[in-house]
Amino acid sequence: MAEQLAVKGGPKAIPDGTIKPWPPIDDVDRKMVMASLEGTNHAFGPNCTAFEKEFAAWNGNKYAITTNSGTAALHMGVVACGCGTGDEVLVPAYSWSSSATCALHHSCIPVFVDIDYDTMNIDLDKIEAAITPRTKAIIAVHLHGLPVPMDKLIRIAHRHNLKVIEDACQAHGAAYRGKKVGTWGHCAAFSFNQNKCLCAGEGGMFVTDDPALHAAALQLWSFGETRRPGEGRDFHAYAMGWMYRNDDLGAAFGRAQLTKLDGYLARQRENAEALTEGLRGVPGLILPEEPQHCVHNWYNYTLRFDMEQLGHAEDASDFRYKIMKALQAEGVETSVWQAFILPAMTVFQAKNGFGEGHPWSSPHARPVDYSLHQYPNAQKHSDRHTGMTTPLRAPNGPDVARLVAHAIRKVMENVKEL
Protein backbone atom coordinates (compact mmCIF):
# COMPACT_ATOMS: atom_id res chain seq x y z
CA MET A 1 0.00 0.00 0.00
CA ALA A 2 1.26 3.49 -0.83
CA GLU A 3 2.57 5.53 2.10
CA GLN A 4 0.46 8.53 2.98
CA LEU A 5 2.07 11.84 2.08
CA ALA A 6 3.18 14.03 5.01
CA VAL A 7 1.39 16.96 3.37
CA LYS A 8 -1.84 14.91 3.75
CA GLY A 9 -1.14 14.02 7.38
CA GLY A 10 1.09 10.96 6.89
CA PRO A 11 4.45 10.37 8.59
CA LYS A 12 7.44 12.48 7.56
CA ALA A 13 9.96 10.53 5.46
CA ILE A 14 12.94 12.43 6.88
CA PRO A 15 12.82 12.93 10.64
CA ASP A 16 13.63 16.43 11.93
CA GLY A 17 17.33 16.96 12.64
CA THR A 18 18.47 14.28 10.15
CA ILE A 19 19.97 16.76 7.66
CA LYS A 20 22.94 18.51 9.23
CA PRO A 21 23.66 22.15 8.45
CA TRP A 22 26.52 23.42 6.31
CA PRO A 23 29.42 23.93 6.83
CA PRO A 24 30.79 21.55 9.45
CA ILE A 25 32.96 23.46 11.95
CA ASP A 26 35.86 21.80 13.75
CA ASP A 27 39.01 22.69 15.67
CA VAL A 28 40.88 23.71 12.52
CA ASP A 29 38.32 26.50 11.99
CA ARG A 30 38.27 27.44 15.67
CA LYS A 31 42.06 27.67 15.92
CA MET A 32 42.57 29.68 12.74
CA VAL A 33 39.74 32.12 13.39
CA MET A 34 40.81 32.64 17.01
CA ALA A 35 44.43 33.21 15.93
CA SER A 36 43.21 35.93 13.56
CA LEU A 37 41.10 37.48 16.31
CA GLU A 38 44.05 37.55 18.64
CA GLY A 39 46.29 39.07 15.96
CA THR A 40 46.71 42.79 15.39
CA ASN A 41 45.55 43.22 11.79
CA HIS A 42 41.83 42.74 11.32
CA ALA A 43 41.51 44.49 7.97
CA PHE A 44 43.46 43.13 4.97
CA GLY A 45 45.79 41.02 7.10
CA PRO A 46 48.19 38.08 6.86
CA ASN A 47 45.38 35.55 6.45
CA CYS A 48 44.26 37.40 3.31
CA THR A 49 47.61 37.12 1.54
CA ALA A 50 47.98 33.50 2.69
CA PHE A 51 44.45 32.70 1.46
CA GLU A 52 45.31 34.12 -1.97
CA LYS A 53 48.45 31.99 -2.24
CA GLU A 54 46.78 28.82 -1.02
CA PHE A 55 43.70 29.21 -3.21
CA ALA A 56 45.82 29.97 -6.29
CA ALA A 57 47.88 26.84 -5.59
CA TRP A 58 44.74 24.73 -5.01
CA ASN A 59 43.08 25.87 -8.22
CA GLY A 60 46.20 26.11 -10.38
CA ASN A 61 46.26 29.87 -11.04
CA LYS A 62 49.24 32.22 -11.08
CA TYR A 63 47.43 35.09 -9.36
CA ALA A 64 44.57 35.37 -6.90
CA ILE A 65 43.04 38.41 -5.20
CA THR A 66 40.74 37.85 -2.27
CA THR A 67 37.58 39.96 -2.30
CA ASN A 68 34.56 40.63 -0.12
CA SER A 69 32.24 38.85 -2.59
CA GLY A 70 32.10 36.82 -5.78
CA THR A 71 30.30 39.75 -7.38
CA ALA A 72 33.29 42.01 -6.66
CA ALA A 73 35.56 39.45 -8.34
CA LEU A 74 33.23 39.36 -11.38
CA HIS A 75 33.26 43.16 -11.63
CA MET A 76 37.06 43.07 -11.41
CA GLY A 77 37.01 40.59 -14.30
CA VAL A 78 34.86 42.88 -16.42
CA VAL A 79 37.27 45.77 -15.84
CA ALA A 80 40.45 43.69 -16.18
CA CYS A 81 39.18 42.51 -19.58
CA GLY A 82 38.95 46.10 -20.73
CA CYS A 83 35.16 46.29 -20.96
CA GLY A 84 33.80 49.84 -20.77
CA THR A 85 30.81 52.01 -21.54
CA GLY A 86 28.51 50.50 -24.14
CA ASP A 87 30.56 47.35 -24.61
CA GLU A 88 28.40 44.24 -24.77
CA VAL A 89 28.97 41.28 -22.52
CA LEU A 90 27.29 37.96 -23.26
CA VAL A 91 25.63 36.29 -20.28
CA PRO A 92 23.43 33.18 -20.03
CA ALA A 93 19.75 34.09 -19.61
CA TYR A 94 19.53 31.99 -16.46
CA SER A 95 21.96 32.67 -13.63
CA TRP A 96 22.45 34.72 -10.51
CA SER A 97 21.61 38.42 -10.99
CA SER A 98 25.20 39.55 -10.55
CA SER A 99 26.46 37.34 -13.40
CA ALA A 100 24.87 40.14 -15.46
CA THR A 101 24.85 43.18 -13.17
CA CYS A 102 28.67 42.93 -12.86
CA ALA A 103 28.69 44.20 -16.46
CA LEU A 104 26.31 47.03 -15.60
CA HIS A 105 28.67 48.07 -12.78
CA HIS A 106 31.05 49.23 -15.50
CA SER A 107 28.41 50.68 -17.81
CA CYS A 108 28.54 47.64 -20.08
CA ILE A 109 25.45 46.16 -21.66
CA PRO A 110 24.53 42.57 -20.83
CA VAL A 111 23.26 40.63 -23.84
CA PHE A 112 21.51 37.42 -22.90
CA VAL A 113 21.91 34.05 -24.58
CA ASP A 114 19.41 31.27 -23.94
CA ILE A 115 20.53 28.16 -22.06
CA ASP A 116 20.77 24.58 -23.20
CA TYR A 117 17.88 22.83 -21.42
CA ASP A 118 19.83 19.64 -20.76
CA THR A 119 22.92 21.19 -19.16
CA MET A 120 21.28 24.42 -17.86
CA ASN A 121 24.42 26.25 -19.07
CA ILE A 122 24.74 28.81 -21.88
CA ASP A 123 23.78 27.32 -25.26
CA LEU A 124 27.06 27.40 -27.17
CA ASP A 125 25.22 27.10 -30.47
CA LYS A 126 23.40 30.39 -29.79
CA ILE A 127 26.42 32.50 -28.85
CA GLU A 128 27.52 33.56 -32.32
CA ALA A 129 24.10 34.94 -33.25
CA ALA A 130 24.32 37.27 -30.23
CA ILE A 131 27.74 38.69 -31.13
CA THR A 132 27.82 42.24 -32.54
CA PRO A 133 30.68 44.65 -33.29
CA ARG A 134 30.25 45.92 -29.69
CA THR A 135 30.68 42.51 -28.02
CA LYS A 136 33.75 42.43 -25.82
CA ALA A 137 33.42 39.45 -23.48
CA ILE A 138 31.53 36.30 -22.58
CA ILE A 139 30.67 35.40 -19.01
CA ALA A 140 30.81 31.61 -18.85
CA VAL A 141 28.75 30.59 -15.82
CA HIS A 142 29.43 27.03 -14.66
CA LEU A 143 25.92 26.79 -13.30
CA HIS A 144 25.32 24.65 -10.24
CA GLY A 145 28.87 23.32 -10.59
CA LEU A 146 28.59 21.82 -14.08
CA PRO A 147 31.42 23.14 -16.28
CA VAL A 148 30.70 24.78 -19.61
CA PRO A 149 32.52 22.95 -22.48
CA MET A 150 35.33 25.48 -22.39
CA ASP A 151 37.29 24.27 -25.43
CA LYS A 152 34.35 25.03 -27.70
CA LEU A 153 33.52 28.31 -25.94
CA ILE A 154 37.13 29.49 -26.20
CA ARG A 155 37.22 28.63 -29.92
CA ILE A 156 34.18 30.88 -30.43
CA ALA A 157 35.76 33.64 -28.33
CA HIS A 158 39.02 33.46 -30.33
CA ARG A 159 37.16 33.68 -33.63
CA HIS A 160 35.59 36.96 -32.49
CA ASN A 161 38.43 38.33 -30.37
CA LEU A 162 36.40 38.17 -27.17
CA LYS A 163 37.56 37.89 -23.59
CA VAL A 164 36.27 35.01 -21.45
CA ILE A 165 35.36 35.62 -17.82
CA GLU A 166 34.46 32.46 -15.92
CA ASP A 167 31.76 32.79 -13.28
CA ALA A 168 32.92 29.90 -11.12
CA CYS A 169 31.07 31.21 -8.06
CA GLN A 170 29.27 27.86 -7.68
CA ALA A 171 31.88 25.64 -9.26
CA HIS A 172 34.86 25.11 -6.91
CA GLY A 173 36.66 21.96 -8.00
CA ALA A 174 34.58 21.38 -11.15
CA ALA A 175 36.71 20.47 -14.16
CA TYR A 176 36.43 20.11 -17.92
CA ARG A 177 38.68 17.70 -19.80
CA GLY A 178 40.74 17.31 -16.63
CA LYS A 179 41.38 21.05 -16.19
CA LYS A 180 39.78 22.94 -13.34
CA VAL A 181 37.30 25.74 -13.93
CA GLY A 182 38.89 29.11 -13.35
CA THR A 183 41.96 28.11 -15.36
CA TRP A 184 40.33 28.20 -18.81
CA GLY A 185 39.28 31.81 -19.37
CA HIS A 186 41.20 35.08 -19.17
CA CYS A 187 40.11 35.31 -15.55
CA ALA A 188 37.52 33.91 -13.16
CA ALA A 189 35.50 34.66 -10.06
CA PHE A 190 34.73 32.37 -7.11
CA SER A 191 32.32 33.03 -4.24
CA PHE A 192 32.78 31.97 -0.62
CA ASN A 193 29.32 32.96 0.52
CA GLN A 194 27.60 30.83 3.21
CA ASN A 195 26.05 28.33 0.88
CA LYS A 196 28.99 27.87 -1.47
CA CYS A 197 31.18 24.74 -1.54
CA LEU A 198 33.86 26.79 0.19
CA CYS A 199 32.16 28.87 2.88
CA ALA A 200 33.94 31.81 4.48
CA GLY A 201 30.71 33.52 5.55
CA GLU A 202 30.98 35.95 2.65
CA GLY A 203 33.88 36.60 0.30
CA GLY A 204 35.28 35.74 -3.07
CA MET A 205 38.41 35.31 -5.16
CA PHE A 206 39.50 36.79 -8.48
CA VAL A 207 41.95 34.53 -10.32
CA THR A 208 43.97 34.90 -13.50
CA ASP A 209 47.28 33.84 -15.05
CA ASP A 210 47.76 37.15 -16.85
CA PRO A 211 49.89 39.80 -15.07
CA ALA A 212 48.22 42.70 -16.91
CA LEU A 213 44.73 41.51 -15.93
CA HIS A 214 45.94 41.00 -12.38
CA ALA A 215 47.25 44.59 -12.22
CA ALA A 216 44.03 46.05 -13.67
CA ALA A 217 41.88 44.04 -11.25
CA LEU A 218 44.02 45.14 -8.28
CA GLN A 219 43.40 48.76 -9.10
CA LEU A 220 39.64 48.41 -9.09
CA TRP A 221 39.82 46.29 -5.94
CA SER A 222 41.32 48.93 -3.66
CA PHE A 223 40.36 52.56 -4.31
CA GLY A 224 42.06 52.83 -7.71
CA GLU A 225 45.44 52.48 -6.06
CA THR A 226 48.35 50.56 -7.55
CA ARG A 227 49.80 49.17 -4.32
CA ARG A 228 48.28 46.76 -1.86
CA PRO A 229 48.05 47.25 1.88
CA GLY A 230 51.51 46.57 3.29
CA GLU A 231 53.24 47.60 0.04
CA GLY A 232 53.90 51.27 0.75
CA ARG A 233 50.58 52.70 -0.39
CA ASP A 234 50.48 56.29 -1.60
CA PHE A 235 46.68 56.48 -1.16
CA HIS A 236 46.31 57.95 -4.63
CA ALA A 237 43.33 57.10 -6.84
CA TYR A 238 44.96 56.47 -10.22
CA ALA A 239 41.67 55.24 -11.63
CA MET A 240 38.08 54.60 -10.59
CA GLY A 241 38.30 52.16 -7.73
CA TRP A 242 35.95 50.36 -5.39
CA MET A 243 36.62 48.84 -1.98
CA TYR A 244 36.46 45.13 -2.61
CA ARG A 245 39.08 43.91 -0.14
CA ASN A 246 38.48 41.00 2.21
CA ASP A 247 39.12 41.05 5.97
CA ASP A 248 41.43 38.86 8.03
CA LEU A 249 38.78 36.97 10.02
CA GLY A 250 36.87 35.90 6.91
CA ALA A 251 40.10 34.89 5.21
CA ALA A 252 41.14 32.84 8.26
CA PHE A 253 37.82 30.99 8.09
CA GLY A 254 38.20 30.51 4.34
CA ARG A 255 41.73 29.13 4.76
CA ALA A 256 40.54 26.66 7.38
CA GLN A 257 37.71 25.47 5.13
CA LEU A 258 40.09 25.21 2.15
CA THR A 259 42.11 22.56 4.01
CA LYS A 260 38.94 20.42 3.98
CA LEU A 261 37.55 21.33 0.56
CA ASP A 262 38.73 18.25 -1.36
CA GLY A 263 37.15 16.01 1.28
CA TYR A 264 33.89 17.96 1.14
CA LEU A 265 33.78 17.73 -2.65
CA ALA A 266 34.42 13.97 -2.58
CA ARG A 267 31.54 13.58 -0.11
CA GLN A 268 29.28 15.72 -2.29
CA ARG A 269 30.02 13.46 -5.26
CA GLU A 270 29.22 10.32 -3.25
CA ASN A 271 25.96 11.88 -2.09
CA ALA A 272 24.96 12.97 -5.59
CA GLU A 273 25.65 9.46 -6.88
CA ALA A 274 23.53 7.92 -4.11
CA LEU A 275 20.72 10.35 -4.86
CA THR A 276 20.85 9.67 -8.59
CA GLU A 277 20.89 5.93 -7.92
CA GLY A 278 17.83 6.25 -5.70
CA LEU A 279 15.91 8.39 -8.17
CA ARG A 280 16.65 6.66 -11.46
CA GLY A 281 13.50 5.72 -13.33
CA VAL A 282 11.06 7.78 -11.23
CA PRO A 283 8.36 8.87 -13.69
CA GLY A 284 8.02 12.62 -14.15
CA LEU A 285 11.53 13.45 -12.92
CA ILE A 286 14.42 14.71 -15.04
CA LEU A 287 17.69 14.09 -13.22
CA PRO A 288 20.82 16.24 -13.58
CA GLU A 289 23.57 14.77 -15.70
CA GLU A 290 27.33 14.85 -15.81
CA PRO A 291 28.17 14.91 -19.54
CA GLN A 292 31.36 13.36 -20.90
CA HIS A 293 34.59 15.24 -20.06
CA CYS A 294 32.87 17.11 -17.21
CA VAL A 295 33.51 16.84 -13.49
CA HIS A 296 30.45 18.28 -11.76
CA ASN A 297 30.95 19.54 -8.22
CA TRP A 298 27.25 19.01 -7.35
CA TYR A 299 26.89 22.44 -5.75
CA ASN A 300 23.17 22.25 -6.40
CA TYR A 301 21.40 19.01 -7.28
CA THR A 302 18.65 20.24 -9.56
CA LEU A 303 15.52 18.26 -10.33
CA ARG A 304 13.26 19.16 -13.21
CA PHE A 305 9.70 17.92 -13.48
CA ASP A 306 8.51 16.54 -16.79
CA MET A 307 5.23 18.45 -16.76
CA GLU A 308 4.08 17.01 -20.08
CA GLN A 309 4.33 13.52 -18.60
CA LEU A 310 2.65 14.67 -15.37
CA GLY A 311 -0.16 16.41 -17.33
CA HIS A 312 0.66 19.89 -16.02
CA ALA A 313 2.27 21.65 -18.97
CA GLU A 314 -0.22 24.54 -18.64
CA ASP A 315 0.34 25.27 -14.94
CA ALA A 316 3.93 24.04 -14.77
CA SER A 317 5.26 26.55 -12.24
CA ASP A 318 2.21 26.35 -9.92
CA PHE A 319 2.27 22.56 -9.94
CA ARG A 320 6.01 22.59 -9.26
CA TYR A 321 5.32 24.61 -6.11
CA LYS A 322 2.70 22.03 -5.07
CA ILE A 323 5.22 19.21 -5.48
CA MET A 324 7.79 21.22 -3.54
CA LYS A 325 5.35 21.81 -0.69
CA ALA A 326 4.85 18.05 -0.48
CA LEU A 327 8.62 17.47 -0.59
CA GLN A 328 9.21 20.03 2.14
CA ALA A 329 6.52 18.40 4.29
CA GLU A 330 8.50 15.13 3.99
CA GLY A 331 11.59 16.98 5.25
CA VAL A 332 13.36 17.51 1.90
CA GLU A 333 15.16 20.86 1.98
CA THR A 334 14.38 22.03 -1.51
CA SER A 335 13.89 25.43 -3.10
CA VAL A 336 13.47 27.27 -6.37
CA TRP A 337 16.90 28.63 -7.20
CA GLN A 338 15.76 31.43 -9.51
CA ALA A 339 12.08 32.14 -10.08
CA PHE A 340 12.99 34.83 -12.63
CA ILE A 341 15.17 34.46 -15.66
CA LEU A 342 17.74 37.27 -15.85
CA PRO A 343 16.25 39.35 -18.69
CA ALA A 344 12.88 39.30 -16.88
CA MET A 345 14.38 41.07 -13.87
CA THR A 346 13.13 44.63 -13.50
CA VAL A 347 16.52 46.31 -13.88
CA PHE A 348 16.82 44.85 -17.39
CA GLN A 349 13.22 45.28 -18.46
CA ALA A 350 13.30 48.91 -17.25
CA LYS A 351 16.77 49.41 -18.80
CA ASN A 352 17.76 51.75 -16.04
CA GLY A 353 20.86 51.03 -14.00
CA PHE A 354 22.10 54.38 -12.74
CA GLY A 355 19.20 56.69 -13.60
CA GLU A 356 18.40 58.41 -16.89
CA GLY A 357 18.43 54.99 -18.51
CA HIS A 358 22.18 54.60 -18.07
CA PRO A 359 24.05 52.63 -19.39
CA TRP A 360 21.54 51.67 -22.10
CA SER A 361 20.90 55.36 -22.92
CA SER A 362 24.61 56.06 -23.44
CA PRO A 363 25.45 57.28 -26.97
CA HIS A 364 28.12 54.55 -26.92
CA ALA A 365 25.54 51.80 -26.48
CA ARG A 366 23.74 49.96 -29.24
CA PRO A 367 20.02 49.27 -28.67
CA VAL A 368 19.38 45.81 -27.21
CA ASP A 369 16.20 43.79 -27.13
CA TYR A 370 15.26 41.90 -23.97
CA SER A 371 11.98 40.44 -25.28
CA LEU A 372 11.44 37.33 -23.23
CA HIS A 373 10.37 35.04 -26.08
CA GLN A 374 14.08 34.81 -26.98
CA TYR A 375 14.85 32.64 -23.96
CA PRO A 376 12.40 29.70 -24.02
CA ASN A 377 14.75 27.15 -22.43
CA ALA A 378 15.67 29.46 -19.56
CA GLN A 379 11.98 30.09 -18.86
CA LYS A 380 11.07 26.42 -19.14
CA HIS A 381 13.85 25.53 -16.72
CA SER A 382 12.96 28.31 -14.28
CA ASP A 383 9.31 27.17 -14.20
CA ARG A 384 9.97 23.47 -13.72
CA HIS A 385 12.94 23.10 -11.43
CA THR A 386 13.62 22.70 -7.78
CA GLY A 387 17.08 22.39 -6.27
CA MET A 388 18.83 21.05 -3.23
CA THR A 389 22.12 22.01 -1.65
CA THR A 390 22.30 21.13 2.05
CA PRO A 391 21.37 17.44 1.90
CA LEU A 392 24.28 16.91 -0.50
CA ARG A 393 26.84 18.71 1.62
CA ALA A 394 29.13 17.25 4.26
CA PRO A 395 28.74 16.18 7.01
CA ASN A 396 25.68 14.50 5.48
CA GLY A 397 26.50 11.21 3.85
CA PRO A 398 24.97 8.78 1.34
CA ASP A 399 22.62 7.46 4.06
CA VAL A 400 20.98 10.91 4.12
CA ALA A 401 20.99 11.07 0.31
CA ARG A 402 19.19 7.71 0.18
CA LEU A 403 16.59 8.98 2.64
CA VAL A 404 16.09 12.08 0.50
CA ALA A 405 15.69 9.86 -2.58
CA HIS A 406 13.11 7.80 -0.72
CA ALA A 407 11.16 10.94 0.23
CA ILE A 408 11.19 12.23 -3.35
CA ARG A 409 10.04 8.84 -4.65
CA LYS A 410 7.23 8.82 -2.11
CA VAL A 411 5.97 12.19 -3.35
CA MET A 412 6.35 11.35 -7.03
CA GLU A 413 4.57 8.01 -6.64
CA ASN A 414 1.62 9.85 -5.09
CA VAL A 415 1.78 12.95 -7.24
CA LYS A 416 -1.83 12.47 -8.44
CA GLU A 417 -3.03 13.22 -4.91
CA LEU A 418 -1.63 16.75 -5.01
Ligand X SMILES: Cc1ncc(COP(=O)(O)O)c(C=O)c1O
The nearest distance, CB 101 to ligand X, in angstroms, is: 10
Q: Does 70 bind ligand X (CB under 6 A)?
A: yes
CA dist., res. 338 & res. 179, Å (int): 28
Q: Does 98 bind ligand X (CB under 6 A)?
A: yes
Strands 179-180 and 175-176 come out as antiparallel
Q: Does 96 bind ligand X (CB under 6 A)?
A: yes
Binding mask 113-152 for ligand X (x = CB under 6 A): ----------------------------x-----------
Q: Which is nearer to ligand X, 299 or 370 (CB)?
A: 299
Long-range contacts, 235-242 (Cβ 8 Å, 24+): 242/72, 242/75
Alpha carbon separation from 149 to 133, 134, 177, 240, 284 (Å, rounded): 24, 24, 9, 34, 28
Q: Does 92 bind ligand X (CB under 6 A)?
A: no
Strands 63-67 and 88-92 come out as unpaired
- Number of residues lying near ligand X (CB under 6 A): 14
The nearest distance, CB 278 to ligand X, in angstroms, is: 26
Measured from each CB, the residue nearest to ligand X is: 70
Q: Which is nearer to ligand X, 14 or 197 (CB)?
A: 197
Q: Does 95 bind ligand X (CB under 6 A)?
A: yes
For the chain, the helix, strand and coil percentages under 3-state DSSP, each to the nearest 5: 40, 15, 45
Q: Is the CB of residue 304 less than 8 Å from the CB of residue 284?
A: no
The nearest distance, CB 66 to ligand X, in angstroms, is: 12
CA dist., res. 259 & res. 94, Å (int): 32
The nearest distance, CB 300 to ligand X, in angstroms, is: 9
The nearest distance, CB 13 to ligand X, in angstroms, is: 29
What is the residue type of 274? Answer: A
Q: Does 99 bind ligand X (CB under 6 A)?
A: yes
Query: How many angstroms separate the first and last alpha carbons of the chain?
Result: 18
Q: Among the candidate windows 63-71, 104-112, 121-129, 177-185, which touches ligand X by CB under 6 A? A: 63-71
Q: Is the CB of residue 131 less than 8 Å from the CB of residue 162?
A: yes
Q: Does 204 bind ligand X (CB under 6 A)?
A: yes
Give residues in contact with ligand X (CB under 6 A). 69-71, 95-96, 98-99, 141, 167, 169-170, 191, 193, 204
